[in-house]
Amino acid sequence: MNKDLKGSLLVSISAISFGFLPIFAKIVYSYGLNVYSMLFFRFSIASIIIFLYLYLRKEFYIPKFNTLTRLILLGSIGYFSQSLLYLSSINYIPISVAVLLLYSYPPIVFLMASLLKIEKITSRILVALFLGFIGVFLIANPSYNLNVYGVTLALSAAVVYSAYIVTSSQVIRNIEGELASLFVMISASISFLITSLIQNEVIRFNYLAFLFCIIMAIISTALAISTFFMGLRIIGPTRSSIISLLEPLTSSMLAFYIFYESFNILQFIGSAFIILSALLVFSKK
């Protein structure tokens, strides 16, 4: 199989798997679990799955100190923050709005990569950023009576996720995707446990909620994160962020059919602007 095609397929699998995440989260919330409990279970279970997979294939090892330190920081700060912000936002705004606001990140990724001289900044990127910001405004316009706090959480998640992707692309150059995802997930899990203890948030348990946490851990965490890292290593941060637009499409369709969420015409136009801005970044000159 062509190398670029393989990388694109891996990121596509990741994006669709991630698309189920807010759906599972909404269901888990309905059973009374808080965000800290859900994310602790999500990352803990996924860590066990990935570890067993690597151990049985005799592919587990401890990375070099510098790489290990960066992976721990990616999980304990980057992925911890992004997950908390994003999955908290769906308590205040519709899933379809939250996921589209999150996916204002592709142009931000390219801007960060340009500033760090990983990618070259061009007029095309500036136009893409402008279109992306218009799209965000149309989706989250105050006249829609959307919860401002929820919108802020989702947009903050987009910025954090952008930094996470750009940083990850540099860290995982010399390490396998599954192994990188394992240490990221372990670090995130520990961060959620510590944060819940500091804030006196009890790690709650419910059998049905735990079942959905297991499904979330398998599909939207272990599979999604490992395939993303594998694809990212092949095709880089910008192309990965564009292909990941399959995630909001998946989430929005599922939210429409399962939770009967709806969009108005301006929000549809806004989502088109965001997708157009991302495609503009990816398209050839």
Residues 48-98: tens digit of each pLDDT:
999 999 999 999 999 999 999 999 999 999 999 999 999 999 999 999 889
Identity of the amino acid at 252: S
pLDDT for the residue 283: 59
**What are the structural domain ranges in the chain?**
3-282
pLDDT in tens, 201-237: 767 788 999 999 999 999 999 999 989 989 988 888 7
pLDDT of res. 285: 46
User: What share of residues in the chain are helix, strand, coil (percent, to 5)?
Assistant: 80, 0, 20
Place of tokens 């510590």: 194
* 1 has pLDDT over 70: yes
Residue closest to 200 by CA, chosen among 72, 34, 82: 34
Tokens of 48: 């066990």
